[in-house]
Structure 1
Amino acid sequence: MGFTGFDLVIPILIVLVLLVLFTGIKTVPQGYNYTVERFGRYTRTLSPGLNLIVPFVDRVGAKMNMMEQVLDVPTQEIITRDNAIVAVDGVAFYQVLSAPQAAYQVAGLQNAILNLTMTNIRTVMGSMVLDELLSNRDAINERLLRVVDEAAHPWGIKVTRVEIKDINPPANLVDSMARQMMAERDKRAQILKAEGLKQSQILEAEGRREAAFRDAEARERSAEAEARATQVVSEAISKGDVQALNYFVAQKYTDALTRIGSAGNSKIVLMPLEASSLIGTLGGIGEIAKEVFGADAPGERPRHSSSRPPAVRSD
């Protein structure tokens, strides 16, 4: 049994149909977009899933990853505004929003984003002094993100984050910073100590002033009381009342004896006194009491005089 030409055409047609179907059917995975080119010109974008294109006329151009991607920024040396050399590295996160722009607006997308990020890191951090560089990392990240995202926008790229990972000054600079920090802390400690001493001296001076003021006030009141007593005695004497003078003298006399007797530099003190004058003084005190109370106090015992000079004993 021989084969005719028609029998050979049928398998060929079947193969051609399968080839056409295979060429025209495209499956796009999730997270990717494919661009379609017709005779080398972009026509449309294929979304994830099953898609059909015109066989032998259309072809898939670029396969773009639409997921957020991480780009490691290598270490580079930066000269700050105060001429300090630091080594800096970082990381950038970006996402393709427009597959045609990312495919046809820039060649070598990742390389372009990397160079753009490194250049802006040198620009931003080189305009700052070292202290600002070490203490304002959040501000640096925010400024880098704004600048890089604005520059990559025409490429259909959204830069989501730019982070500085490490800032490494030279070892000698780190030692200098440590010594400066210790000096600042010692300075603050000395200032606090001086402030404490100053407050202590101020409070002590205020305490002495208050004590002196109160002592002066007490002496003033004592002097006023003494002057008042003297005035009362003077008025009584001017009115002819000699007993008031006797009472005043006796009180002073008794106080003097008390001070002599309480002296710590002697044990026994013998003083010759005029007995009659002491009796007279005591009598004057009794007369004053009678005049005040009108009569002798109940149970008052008679006074006895002594001709012997009194002795003051201090044990």
Structure 2
Amino acid sequence: EIPECLIHLIALLLFGSPEPGHRPFISGTMMSSATVASRAAMAAAASNSRIINCSSRSPASLLLKCAAGRSYSSSIPLSYNFDRAGGGIGGGAFLGGPGGNDGTGMGELSRWPITKANTVLNIVPQGKRFVVERFGKLSAIHDSGYFFAIPLVDQIAYVVDVRERAIDILPQAAITRDNVSVEVSGNLFVQFIDPERAAYGARNPLYSVVQHAQSAMRSAIGEMELDEILHGRAKLNGLIKGSLQEAAVAWGLEVRRYEITEITPDEQIRIAMDKQAAAERDKREQVLRAEGDKRRAELTSEGVKISLTNESEGMLIKIRNEAEAVKTKLLREAEGEAGAIKVLAAAQAEAIAKIAAELEKDEGKEAANLSLAREYVAMYGEMGSKSNTMIFNDRPADMSALLVQVAAAMGAAPKGSIPSLQSGQEKSDTNQ
């Protein structure tokens, strides 16, 4: 058996101070290594951490295994930061508690302030600031690099990480303006910009800003309706960020942004929202189908219209071509007839001129009378061949009257023609 106080002292020397809020239990109580192993196993199980192999009853082997980075606790309410290699200052895992072993320094939420021992020659890592106090009063703030500090006089009271960090805001129950219960979670992105205010503005600035973020988130949700929250996350993020920024300045923090990660309404609201979403999808489907039918009908009618237009234009062109053809034909026929008439008229004029020239002769008058008599007889013969009934004037054999009519039509009666006919008529009467 080994004294429990010895285990605590060795753990303090090797692994650092215990988790805040827990007082090291140091007493002269003697306990076996099996008891130490059982208590370590219980503490590791309570914190979901890895359980070390404590089967060995050798205290030396137990301490060596603890020094290798395993989780260890000599009693349930007491835990140490054994993951020094991965976490660095402000990091590490307190039995799987805040911070983890990824070295992000999120252990500062529950482990503030972060301090460091004065080694005379002190090195400040990149991205950190050391706040040095002399006799309990602010002396200097050192940037990355190295500086000298007087032992026992100067104390590195605060180690401030000035890198931007993301803090997970756990789901918070809130009620919207339209009385709907929701749970909202988010991520807060902050950065220390003033190490002095970070050290002296609040007892734990990160814890304060997280608490304020939770209350600001609930307050902002209470000012908005559920639909507005679901469709306006940017507005909600802006409201929360604005509320946080005003308070974070006094703590040396700058709120870079706030992002809502999840909004979970209660079960009944989720069921109603699912039904509404299904109805909206059905509605959109029907609208799209109706628009498709409408578009198809429009395209069909447009096609019919274009087809009829093309057909009518084709018919119009055909009619125009036919009319042009008829017009051209009639023009050609008229031109032909006009040419024929001109030729005929010229021939008749020439014939008339020749006849007139012959009539001027002495023998021409008798020839003309003879020709008229022949035409007269031929006319009656033609009339008799076409009809059984013939109508004559009172003196059908008297051609003198016919000649007088012809002469009147021509404007002048041939001289000597009528007497000769009359004399011929008288001779015929005498002979009779």
Deviations 1:33-67 (A, max 9, x none): 345264x6545446676522664xx7665554445
C-alpha separation in 2, matches of 1:111 and 1:228: 105
- Residue by residue over 1:264-288, the C-alpha shift from the partner in whole angstroms, topping out at 9 and shown as x without a partner, is xxxxxxxxxxxxxxxxxxxxxxxxx
Specify the structure having the higher radius of gyration (Cα).
2
Aligned to 1:33: 130
* Pair 1:113–1:221, CA change in 2 (3 A): same
**Equivalent residue runs for 1:132-171 within 5 Å:** 133-134=229-230, 137=233, 141=237, 144-145=240-241, 147-169=243-265, 170-171=269-270
CA distance 1:215–1:128, shift in 2 (3 Å): farther
What secondary structure is seen at the aligned counterpart in 1 of 2:212?
helix
Q: Measured at CA, do residues 217 and 105 of structure 1 come closer, stay the same or move farther in structure 2, by a change above 3 Å?
A: same
Q: Which amino acid aligns with 1:52?
A: I
Deviations 1:237-287 (A, max 9, x none): 67768xxxxxxxxxxxxxxxxxxxxxxxxxxxxxxxxxxxxxxxxxxxxxx
2:307 counterpart of 1:207: yes
Q: 2:190 aligns with which of 89, 94, 98?
A: 94
AA of the residue aligned to 2:311: A
Instruction: State the match for 1:195 in structure 2.
Output: 295
Change (3 A) 1:230 1:34: closer
In structure 2, relative to structure 1, the CA distance for the partners of 1:154 and 1:216 (3 Å cut) is same
Task: Report the number of matched residues.
Answer: 217
User: How far off is 1:232 after superposition?
Assistant: 4.6
1:179 aligns with 2:276: no
Residue 203 of structure 2 aligns to a residue whose secondary structure is: coil
**Aligned partners of 1:51, 1:189: CA distance in 2, in Å?**
79
Higher RCO structure, 1 or 2 (CA under 8 Å, sep 6+): 1
Residues 1-315 of structure 1 mapped to structure 2, 5 A cutoff: 30=125, 31=128, 33-36=130-133, 38=135, 41-45=137-141, 50-52=148-150, 55=153, 61-62=157-158, 64-79=160-175, 85-124=181-220, 133-134=229-230, 137=233, 141=237, 144-145=240-241, 147-169=243-265, 170-172=269-271, 173-230=273-330, 232-233=332-333
Distance 1:144 1:181, change over 3 A: farther
Deviation string for 1:221-249 (max 9, x for gaps)? 324423543565466567768xxxxxxxx
Secondary structure of the residue aligned to 1:52 is coil
Could you list the per-position Cα deviations for residues 50-95 of structure 1 after superposition, in whole angstroms to 9, with x for gaps in the alignment? 522664xx76655544454432201124555666554321122323
What SS does the corresponding residue of 2:325 show, helix, strand or coil?
helix
Larger relative strand fraction: 1
* Partners of 2:309 and 2:152 in 1: CA distance: 106
Unaligned runs of 5+ in 2: 1-116, 342-432
TM-score (norm 1): 0.53
- Check whether the contact 2:177–2:222 (CA below 8 A) recurs between aligned residues: yes
Residues 152 and 158 in structure 1, CA contact (< 8 A), matched pair in contact too: yes
After TM superposition, give the deviation of residue 194 of structure 1 in Å: 1.0
Note closer, same or farther for the CA distance 1:36–1:185 as it changes in structure 2 (3 Å cut).
farther
Partners of 1:37 and 1:221 in 2: how far apart? 114
Measure, in 2, the Cα distance between the counterparts of 1:150 and 1:120: 11
Q: % of aligned pairs identical?
A: 20
**For structure 1, which segment, 131-140 or 82-91, has the greater mean C-alpha deviation from structure 2 after superposition?**
131-140
- Whether the 8 Å contact between 2:118 and 2:149 is mirrored in structure 1 is no
How much does 1:204 deviate?
1.7
Distance in 1 between residues matched to 2:225 and 2:287, nearest whole Å: 23
- Contact 2:130 2:156 (C-alpha < 8 Å) held by counterparts: no
Find the counterpart in structure 1 of residue 52 from structure 2.
none
Structure 2-normalised TM-score?
Answer: 0.40
CA 1:205/1:81 → structure 2, altered by over 3 Å: closer, same or farther? farther
Q: CA deviation at 1:198?
A: 0.8
Amino acid at match of 2:213: T
One-letter code aligned to 1:112: S
